[in-house]
Amino acid sequence: MISEGTADLALTLERGVEQRDTPVSCEQAYANGYLAIFPTGHPLKKRKLLELNELIKFSIVVGHRGTSGRGLFEQALHRLDLLGNLQFAAETDNSTFTISCVHAGLGVGIVARQAIEGPFTYQLEKRSLSHSLGQAYVVFRRKKGRQATKVIRVLMDLIRESSG
């Protein structure tokens, strides 16, 4: 929608290296950490610092192959020679669906989020995976060459301020 000009602003996870000839610009908005999420009665609750070798003893709910988090997760497991031990419970396309799958008892979820608070995450525990996976960056996407209106600039500033 951005490249077609039917939307002025998008907010997405950064995808990695951008092609130079793309009609869409990419500008960092804020950073997210990666989290493992699981029900409060799960055995991982006892762990304060969760390592990947402990995590993959359980079925995993993670983004599909086209998501940046999935690629990063698989690369980290590959570096530790753990990729062959990975058991997928489900592949999702967003963190909300991942959280729903965890609620349904499908497995441990991997999400890129700043926080998972509120009624949707009731009875779920979280542990940071940033020490293993680093950070995910949320970016603004706009059409190259198009000046942002004052309203769009204010919106971008508000998003940065509320996320930082």
Asked if 24 contacts 141 with a C-beta cutoff of 8 angstroms, the reply is: yes
CATH code, 10-163: 3.40.190.290
pLDDT in tens, 55-73: 999 999 999 987 878 888 9
Q: Please state the pTM of the whole predicted model.
A: 0.77
Asked if 137 contacts 10 with a C-beta cutoff of 8 angstroms, the reply is: no
The pLDDT, as a whole number, for residue 72 is 87
Asked if 162 contacts 29 with a C-beta cutoff of 8 angstroms, the reply is: no
